[in-house]
Amino acid sequence: MVWSLRVAATSPQIRLGEVASNAESIRVALKDAVAAGAELIVLPELATSGYVFTDRDEAAEASITRDDPLWSELAAVLAPGVTAVVGYAERAEHHLYNSAAVFTSDQWIGDYRKSHLWGAEAGLFEKGSSAGALFEVPFGRLGVAICYDNEFPEVPRRLALGGADVLALPVNWPRVPRPNGERPPEIIQAMAAARSSRLATVIADRVGTERGVEWTEGTAVIDSGGWVFAVPDASGCAVQTLVLGVRGDKSLPPHNDLFGDRRPHLY
């Protein structure tokens, strides 16, 4: 059965270290995306905290736990059946993680801890113990990876092979040089990964700058053919209805199949 999924990638203004005001910005963004009919809503990496920390103490200061009251305030604006993915600086005992929370209005589904750390992150966060993760959510099976994770082609591939219906990708992409007229390289990598595995990908990036780091503003919905299908409107939100074909179908008629044609014993 062909099915469709209305998704939103949304990028509210985030201020470094200002957790309470960021939570309020996220709450409004979630509410607006729900109003736009989204069934999956993706926010950026470290949306509650900001990204460009000077040191671990500063990151710890802006970290929250899985049972912070903030989460129930955010869950309260979700309509039943809507899944949200929100990046946050997670504190768990003495450890910090760069995590993404996955939740609905009435359930903490889980969270994913980033396992490929970029730049100075290794001095701030512990590495997660899984390369992307899969979650059973109301609409089906959701893959989640964070930023640099997706630049390892193994990550989106294994999530797709594990049955992901769609990939949520919270990111904070510092802008890197690129030739005139080209898309950001991280978008090219996400487009290629999407196409290779027929895996639609919902990317929420930051906007503006933070401590001199200019963001790529790469928020986008990539369809399962690997094409950029939606970019943000003036509100910073990209909303689109993905037509996802038959669940799990990777066939390329009449002769081929993206997964069936793999030769795993040769890799």
Is residue 35 at the binding interface for its own copies, with CB under 8 A as the rule? no
Instruction: Provide, rounded to whole angstroms, the least separation between the CB of residue 18 and its own copies.
Output: 26
Q: Which amino acid is at 89?
A: A
Which C-beta is closer to its own copies: that of 41 or that of 228?
228
Helices 185-197 and 154-161: crossing angle in degrees, nearest 10, is 30
CA-to-CA distance for 219 and 169, rounded, in angstroms?
10
Interactions with its own copies, residue window 243-262 (CB under 8 A): 254-256, 261-262
DSSP H or E run through 249: none
Cα–Cα distances in Å, from 188 out to 8, 51, 153, 191? 20, 23, 12, 5
Beta bridge mates, 214: 209
Site for its own copies in 147-186 (CB under 8 A): 148, 151-155, 157-158, 178-179, 182, 185
Binding flag, residue 189, its own copies (CB under 8 A): yes
Closer residue to its own copies (CB): 135 or 139: 135
Q: E strands, 93-148, where?
A: 95-103, 108-113, 133-137, 140-144
Residue among 192, 207, 213, 231 that touches its own copies (CB under 8 A) = 192
Structure tokens belonging to residue 160: 């797709």
Site of interaction with its own copies (CB under 8 A): 115-122, 127, 129-131, 148, 151-155, 157-158, 178-179, 182, 185, 188-189, 191-193, 195-196, 225-227, 254-256, 261-263, 266-267
